[in-house]
A and B are shown apart, each in its own frame.
Chain A
């Protein structure tokens, strides 16, 4: 369990680092241009990780249902998620759109409870709300951005 939590914390740090590096790349490239450089690199890196950790056999042996669900995930994470967020940013502004996106984990918990039958403890649900509240305070703070 502790190793799993450690992996999620590491993942969170890497997401944060990736966002900042992508922001750095935006000094030279458009958001769309960045997407077409980062995503192929992500695919290549994950492919190398699969080869090293699982071997070439891990790429095969999956059923049609697996590929269908992977395609659905690819659409949700890389196409509809990004497109809806960028258009939402344009219309509602970052102060409204960013906290709403930050509340995504609450929706994830809801999915796990309703569809997955998971029963998170009261402390987990309370912690999720506290995280979302903290993120709302962070992203809504305009003063921290220097002129």
Chain B
């Protein structure tokens, strides 16, 4: 057996990985669905997003307490980028849950599927030199834009 073949992950490992990725997708979608129910009951989308993040933070600290206690001081530049990402996510979650006050979850959630396209656009702007535009990337982008347009028109 070649060294490459010996290093390849076993099919059972890949299957477990696929199942875990599926579980992650279900977790994120379920959180959004529960949010849509809370917002539908009349609570403000931003308030729902705040409490979700607050509980999420508490649980994250509880789960990772041991790792945190022996953590080293992070570099300042990394902290600044991390803080900026936190603000961007706050706008993202706040805007998404606020949108659920106005449109059904089944209309809003497919549009959020285009996040990888938005990331790709920002990578081209902010992380120049790490990715390039290929025909396949353009095809994928065109499909995403067409899909968002279909959802938008149907709404």
Of all chain B residues, the one with the shortest Cβ separation from A105 is B113
**Contact among A27, A44, A84 for B27, CB-based, below 8 A:** A84
CA distance A15 to B13 in the complex (A): 30
Known: A41-B83, A133-B143. A53 touches B116 (CB 8 A): no
Give the dominant DSSP class at B's interface.
Answer: helix
Interface 1/0 per residue, B1-43 and A, CB below 8 Å: 0000000010001101111111111111111111111100001
Pairs A–B under 8 Å by Cβ, sample size 19? A4-B107, A4-B155, A15-B89, A15-B92, A66-B38, A70-B51, A77-B56, A88-B23, A90-B17, A98-B21, A100-B22, A102-B113, A105-B109, A116-B106, A123-B153, A124-B110, A130-B146, A134-B139, A134-B144
Q: Is the CB of A131 within 8 A of B50?
A: no
CA distance A112 to B30 in the complex (A): 10
B69 at interface by CB-CB < 8 Å: no
What distance in Å separates the Cβ of A74 from its nearest Cβ neighbour in chain B? 3
Q: Is the CB of A144 within 8 A of B132?
A: yes
Q: Cβ of A113: which chain B residues have Cβ within 8 Å of it?
A: 106
Interface 1/0 per residue, A44-81 and B, CB below 8 Å: 11110110011000110010001101111111111111
Q: Cβ of B57: which chain A residues have Cβ within 8 Å of it?
A: 39-40, 43, 74, 78
Q: Is the CB of A3 within 8 A of B102?
A: yes
Q: Cβ of B17: which chain A residues have Cβ within 8 Å of it?
A: 87-93, 96-97
Q: Is the CB of A37 within 8 A of B82?
A: yes
Interface 1/0 per residue, A15-30 and B, CB below 8 Å: 1111111111101110
List 7 additional A-B contacts (Cβ < 8 Å) besides A5-B103, A15-B112, A40-B86.
A5-B152, A10-B95, A33-B78, A38-B85, A54-B47, A59-B47, A133-B143
